[in-house]
Amino acid sequence: MVRAAVLPAVDAPLTVAEIDLPEPGPGQVRVRLAAAGVCHSDLSLSNGTLRQPVPAVLGHEGAGTVVSVGQGVGHVAPGDRVVLNWAPACGACHYCGLGEPWLCADAGKAAAAPYATLAADGAELYPGLGTAVFAEETVVAAGAVLPLPDGIPLTDAALLGCAVLTGYGAVHHSAAVRAGESVAVFGVGGVGLAVLQSARIAGADRIVAVDVAPGKEELARAAGATDFVTAQSDGKDTARQIRALTGGHGTDVAIECVGRADTIRTAWSATRRGGRTTVVGIGGQDQDVTFSALELFYFGRTLSGCVYGNCDPSKDLPVLAGHVQAGRLDLSAMVTDRIGLDAIPAAFQAMTAGRGGRALVVF
């Protein structure tokens, strides 16, 4: 038996309970978690913004050590250090065939199948986003584990599984930031901090961090921001401040990490003519963003979504590891709180209130 934070029903409080995990079957791997990041997507799963069968063990950003492997698993062995990949590509669907594994049609199937049971009554449990890392151990498909290169602390490596891959990919793949360009980053949470660091690595000239909480300025500047704008209730005023910092034109690139219609609209308005607006934040179905036909023509901007950083984790993780090893990417600087399983609800509340960067569950 292992301890886990269980979501008994949608929008219900998480409870720490003992669960029974099966031994890994063919093509599966059992992992002992070292740490798990508390991501906004976990909050969205818990409150029903994103669909997730329940009862479930949430958590999808994690790193740990392989305990055992099932038949047919050859790329990892017991004792190996690994990072969890919550969206393993099947390699065979339409999108994988197009070379877009981040859109894999089968990546989410694991979340819809029970993977463990409650020790108390034998009730079946579902794995949040297929990984269920809010637990001391988990069992996942072999494609969901990525070997971790040496020289990276195992606890901090958890952030590589979601926040950093997403932030890095938003900058380098989706927005394709070039050296000397200006970038505005909306939302200084875990992903936003990864975007700021990645923009600095890409050689962006002016990096403007935007957040409703002025207390995040120090955190943002440490991650690479050259300027900080406290977001106003009037998005037009926020966009004006950003344009004033960029010669009146707006930024070459705006990356939205919040997932709100008003923030997306502000990011778009703060982007220069011909610039690129990338949306990373996950919003609800009721969040409608509107544009006039004339402005779409006149401004010539590009608006794009971004799923998991448009990354291929198997290829991008070694690149990120190289940045960490070279000191260009600081994982520990993104962690604002190190907590236990029972403190995840408080981390959700802090996230809702707009406080902090990344809370990390350390086992």
* Tens-place pLDDT, residues 310-350: 999 999 999 999 999 999 999 999 999 999 999 999 999 98
pLDDT for res 214: 94
For 196-236, the pLDDT digits (tens) are: 999 999 999 999 999 999 999 999 999 999 999 999 888 89
Residue 355 pLDDT greater than 80, yes or no: no
**Which DSSP symbol is given to 308?**
G
Residue 52 pLDDT greater than 80, yes or no: yes
For 150-193, the pLDDT digits (tens) are: 889 999 999 999 999 999 999 999 999 999 999 999 999 999 99
Catalogue all structural domains in the chain, each as residue range(s) with its CATH number. 2-161+330-362 (3.90.180.10), 167-307 (3.40.50.720)
Distance, in Å, from the CA atom of 7 to the CA atom of 272, rounded to the nearest integer, reads 43
Question: Are residues 188 and 215 in contact, defined by beta-carbon separation less than 8 angstroms?
Answer: no
- Which pair of tokens denotes residue 47? 């409150």
Q: How confident is the model at residue 354 (pLDDT cuts 50, 70, 90)?
A: confident
E strand intervals along 178-270: 183-186, 207-211, 227-230, 251-256
pLDDT for res 342: 96
Distance, in Å, from the CA atom of 251 to the CA atom of 122, rounded to the nearest integer, reads 54
Residues ≥6 apart with Cβ < 8 Å to 303: 268, 277, 279
Question: Cα dihedral angle (19, 54, 311, 184), rounded to 10 degrees?
Answer: -110
Question: Cα dihedral angle (13, 338, 212, 184), rounded to 10 degrees?
Answer: -120
Residue 356 pLDDT greater than 80, yes or no: no
- Quote the distance between the C-alpha of residue 306 and its chain's center: 11
